[in-house]
Amino acid sequence: MATIGHNNLNAKLVLLGDMGAGKSSLVLRFVKGQFLEFQESTIGAAFFSQTLAVNDATVKFEIWDTAGQERYHSLAPMYYRGAAAAIIVYDITSTDSFSRAKKWVQELQKQGNPNMVMALAGNKADLEDKRKVTAEEARVYAEENGLFFMETSAKSAANVNEIFYEIAKRLPRAQPAQNPPGMVLVDRPAEGSRAASCCS
Amino acid sequence: MYGTQSKIDLALEYQSQIQILRPSIHSRRANLTVKFQDLYGFTVEGNVDDVNVLNEVREKVRERNRVWWALEASKGANWYLHSTNIGQGGGRALKSSLKLSSLANAITLKRLIRQGIPPVLRPKVWFSLSGAAKKKSTVPESYYDDLTKAVEGKVTAATRQIDHVRTDNNNNVFDIHEIWDWFSDHHLLWGLTLLAWFPLDLPRTFPGHPWLDTAEGHAALRRVLVGYSFRDSDVGYCQGLNYVAALLLLVMKTEEDAFWMLAVLLENVLVNDCYTNNLSGCHVEQRVFKDLLAKKCPRIATHLEAMEFDVSLVATEWFLCLFSKSLPSETTLRVWDVLFYEGAKVIFNVALAIFKMKEDELLLTHHVGEVISVLQRTTHHLFDPDDLLTVAFDKIGSMTSNTISKERKKQEPEVMKELDQRLRRLNSLNVNGK
């Protein structure tokens, strides 16, 4: 179900980050090539899929774009569980959103799939004159934590496709069978099934 | 797009092949996507059939109008206030001599409400039957005005989230040139004089709506949301409420009535803590929903479970926005008609109905993406509210508010335990991380 042949890969990808950082805008740019000045706020999460050709393989991303407001974080495990990749998004004009991003990284490191490919996206790179987080600071942080880092702009499209391509390239080609994307979504009351989940 | 094509996809493909072979006006019309405005001014995309359905709905609405006016004429204005409340809204103590007629009224009323309240009567009927009128009557007349005046200019966590102002660039969110540029880009130079601040979560609520997405609409929505965040600081502002409050404004017409409807919804109609802190109430509702799906639609539940598809992935938004982001406006409001009279169990009926309606298609899915696309296609095109409500109330089987309360009580401890564990894990993470 999850991995089809050698050349086709399905990968669950989750976007996490503070509200208004531009998660939905990044997805909209990547999936539809569009940008809206006012993107409807996401409630719960929204699902998208997009296929990329990387070298001789195709990667079909199943993207969960999550809600950013803090109280929604209790829903996040449902979306990142079993994810093969995550993009943690912050807004380069907000130090708060960068701190929030770091918290997401910690949570994923502890609770997420251990083979997860994690990308840090400093979004709104077009707002250079409002910048509060330097690229250098983010790069150092990303290196220390084993993430790859790019500054993106959903508005100008800068680095948007690139970040998804980079993730696609880094995905382990043969996904271990016991850990397919999309696995263990259900948080059932007790009953042993929870023991199989890596992060409930 | 997906490995396995659903029946619908195949049918569509077949249809498009026919079109190539023998193009007819009919098939070309059916495939033509048009943009049109629905009853509440929302722009919707659909094909010609959708437009026709919507016209039929308009005609049905006119018919409902006639029925309700005829009842007013025979039973007197506000007759529905004199009915024994058999739902959950605010009831009234009645003299025993009135009881029989009031019971008859109540039965008529329940049926009538399920058939839909005409949009012109909605503000009045909702306000009385939901208990909002009663709630408002317990405070001084000037409550809302005083509240909005008192909170004007105050900055709290809730207002920051509504306005999307960050603490670290609080004083310089947008400079005047940017505001000017934005308005020029949007051909809205006149708006410059109306706005002294530039909120962000407001234009993100139904963008493009002819009234909601104007300076006046944003300001009204902001006052309702900020006002409520001060009334109940536990709820404060929760994303999702922006959509709910926006629709309430469209229906109720006045800000103050929309505010009281929001209050009665959060304080009396819905289960507690749906929107507070860690959305614990919403987590409980999701578990109850999963159990109900397994009981009422066992084949779907088994199929989705085998696929490792958690229904909360899609149902969370339905419960938090009360379908306002997924169903066409009149369909959403028909759900709300019943919600305000019969209570929160209605959300379960409707959510189950969405699955039930597409049972055959859902059983053919093999992948998360397919499930979601079936459900989205279904909800977005439910222009005829009766299609949905007939299933919700006639085909799901009865569920009383009582059974659902019991289910909630059963799920609560486990939810609280899990949320608590998660919090503790995260806190220990922060300590180690620093």
- CATH number of the domain at A97, please: 3.40.50.300
The answer to whether position A196 is within a domain reads no
The answer to whether position B94 is within a domain reads no
Model confidence pLDDT, tens digit, residues B99-142: 777 778 888 899 999 999 999 999 999 999 999 999 999 999 99
Interface of A with B in 22-51 (CB under 8 A): 36-41, 43-45, 47, 49
Tell me how many residue pairs between chain A and chain B have CB atoms under 8 A apart.
128
The confidence score (pLDDT) of residue B14 equals 37
Nearest-CA distance A162 → chain B (Å): 22
The answer to whether position B251 is within a domain reads yes
User: When comparing pLDDT for A7 and A168, which is higher?
Assistant: A168
Task: Tell me if residue B119 falls in helix, strand or coil.
Answer: coil
Q: Is the pLDDT of residue B169 over 90?
A: no
Q: Report residue B28's pLDDT band, with 50, 70 and 90 as the boundaries.
A: low
Query: Could you give the percent of chain B with pLDDT greater than 70?
Result: 79
The answer to whether position B25 is within a domain reads no
The answer to whether position B4 is within a domain reads no
Single out the residue of A14, A15, A198 nearest to residue A111, CA to CA.
Answer: A198
The CATH number of whichever domain residue B400 belongs to comes to 1.10.472.80
B243 and B298 co-located in one domain: no
The count of structural domains within chain A is: 1
B423 and B337 co-located in one domain: yes
Q: Which two tokens stand for residue B420?
A: 């608590």
- Is the CB of residue B227 less than 8 Å from the CB of residue B256? no
Which residues of chain B does A96 touch, with a Cβ-Cβ cutoff of 8 Å?
166-168
Which residues of chain A does B372 touch, with a Cβ-Cβ cutoff of 8 Å?
47
Mean pLDDT of B401-421: 94
Where is A30: in which H helix or E strand? helix A23-32
> Chain-wide mean pLDDT for chain B?
83
Segments forming the whole domain that contains residue B40:
32-82+102-120
CA B365 – CA B368 distance, rounded (Å)? 8
B112 and B243 co-located in one domain: no
The confidence score (pLDDT) of residue A133 equals 98
A190 contacts B164? CB cut-off 8 A: no
The answer to whether position B2 is within a domain reads no
Model confidence pLDDT, tens digit, residues A49-64: 999 999 888 999 999 9
Model confidence pLDDT, tens digit, residues B279-337: 999 999 999 999 999 999 999 999 999 999 999 999 999 999 999 999 999 999 999 99
The answer to whether position A184 is within a domain reads no
The confidence score (pLDDT) of residue B174 equals 39
Task: State the DSSP code for A41.
Answer: P
Model confidence pLDDT, tens digit, residues B180-204: 444 444 444 333 333 333 346 788 8
B143 and B230 co-located in one domain: yes
The answer to whether position B409 is within a domain reads yes
The answer to whether position B170 is within a domain reads no
B203 contacts A185? CB cut-off 8 A: no
Single out the residue of B217, B215, B226 nearest to residue B152, CA to CA.
Answer: B226
Lowest-pLDDT range of A46-50, B10-14, B109-113, B361-365: B10-14
Which residues of chain A does B305 touch, with a Cβ-Cβ cutoff of 8 Å?
186
Which residues of chain A does B203 touch, with a Cβ-Cβ cutoff of 8 Å?
37-38
Strand A117-123 relative to strand A148-151, pairing: parallel
Which residues are B427's β-sheet partners?
Answer: none
The answer to whether position A38 is within a domain reads yes
The answer to whether position A192 is within a domain reads no
- Is the CB of residue A97 less than 8 Å from the CB of residue A136? no
Which residues of chain B does A4 touch, with a Cβ-Cβ cutoff of 8 Å?
3
The confidence score (pLDDT) of residue B179 equals 41
B42 and B137 co-located in one domain: no
Mean pLDDT of B363-391: 95
B412 and B288 co-located in one domain: yes
Using CA coordinates, name the residue in chain B closest to A107.
B426
Single out the residue of A151, A21, A15, A153 nearest to residue A96, CA to CA.
Answer: A21
Mean pLDDT of B65-78: 91
The answer to whether position B27 is within a domain reads no
Who contacts B116 (Cβ-Cβ below 8 Å, separation ≥6)?
B60, B61, B64, B334, B337, B385
Mean pLDDT of B16-39: 60
Q: Is the pLDDT of residue B55 over 80?
A: yes
Minimal Cβ distance to B426: which of A41, A49, A107: A107
Nearest-CA distance B167 → chain A (Å): 8
Q: Which residues of B311-340 are buried (b: 16+ CB within 10 A; e: fewer)?
A: bbbbbbbbbbbbbbbbbbbbbbbbbbbbbb
Nearest-CA distance B318 → chain A (Å): 9
DSSP letters along A122-155, please?
EE-TT-GGG--S-HHHHHHHHHHTT-EEEE--TT
B275 and B337 co-located in one domain: yes
B164 contacts A19? CB cut-off 8 A: yes
Long-range contacts made by residues B187-192, C-beta under 8 angstroms, separation at least 24? Answer: B188/B215, B191/B215
B257 and B381 co-located in one domain: no
The confidence score (pLDDT) of residue B92 equals 44
> Which value, in Å, is the radius of gyration of the alpha carbons in chain B?
24
> Chain-wide mean pLDDT for chain A?
86
pTM of the model: 0.83
B274 and B375 co-located in one domain: yes
The confidence score (pLDDT) of residue A172 equals 87
Using CA coordinates, name the residue in chain A closest to B415.
A189
Single out the residue of B3, B218, B374, B245 nearest to residue A5, CA to CA.
Answer: B3
Q: Is the pLDDT of residue A117 over 80?
A: yes
The CATH number of whichever domain residue B250 belongs to comes to 1.10.8.270
Mean pLDDT of B353-380: 96
Q: Which two tokens stand for residue A136?
A: 């250098």
CA B164 to chain centre: 23
B308 contacts A77? CB cut-off 8 A: no
B64 — phi, psi (to 5°)? -60, -40
Residue found under tokens 């899990």: B418
Q: Is the pLDDT of residue A169 over 50?
A: yes
Lowest-pLDDT range of A78-87, A93-102, B70-79, B172-181: B172-181
Interface of A with B in 137-196 (CB under 8 A): 182-187, 189-190
CA A109 – CA A88 distance, rounded (Å)? 12
The answer to whether position A200 is within a domain reads no
The confidence score (pLDDT) of residue B168 equals 43
CA A69 – CA B423 distance, rounded (Å)? 16
Count helices and strands in chain B by DSSP H and E runs: 21, 2
The CA-CA-CA angle for residues B188, B193, B198, to 5°, reads 75
B192 and B341 co-located in one domain: yes
- Is the CB of residue B59 less than 8 Å from the CB of residue B330? no
The count of structural domains within chain B is: 3
The answer to whether position A185 is within a domain reads no
B296 and B403 co-located in one domain: yes
A106 contacts B430? CB cut-off 8 A: yes
Q: Is the pLDDT of residue A153 over 80?
A: yes
Mean pLDDT of B344-367: 97
The confidence score (pLDDT) of residue A174 equals 56
Mean pLDDT of A85-109: 96
Residue A127, chain B, CB below 8 Å: the answer is no
Q: Where do runs of H (alpha helix) occur along B130-171?
A: 132-137, 143-151, 157-163
Nearest-CA distance A170 → chain B (Å): 23
Which residues of chain A does B429 touch, with a Cβ-Cβ cutoff of 8 Å?
106-107, 110
Q: Which two tokens stand for residue B168?
A: 């670290």
The confidence score (pLDDT) of residue A176 equals 45
Q: Report residue B13's pLDDT band, with 50, 70 and 90 as the boundaries.
A: very low
Q: Report residue A194's pLDDT band, with 50, 70 and 90 as the boundaries.
A: very low
Segments forming the whole domain that contains residue A59:
7-170
Which residues are A150's β-sheet partners?
Answer: A121
The answer to whether position A183 is within a domain reads no
A75 contacts B316? CB cut-off 8 A: yes
The confidence score (pLDDT) of residue A197 equals 37
Q: Which of B232, B253, B268 is the last residue of a domain?
A: B268
Lowest-pLDDT range of A61-65, A172-176, B57-61, B424-428: A172-176
Q: Which two tokens stand for residue A115?
A: 């083979």
Single out the residue of A153, A5, A36, A8 nearest to residue A92, CA to CA.
Answer: A153
The confidence score (pLDDT) of residue B88 equals 47
Model confidence pLDDT, tens digit, residues A23-37: 999 999 999 999 998
B145 and B262 co-located in one domain: yes
The answer to whether position A195 is within a domain reads no
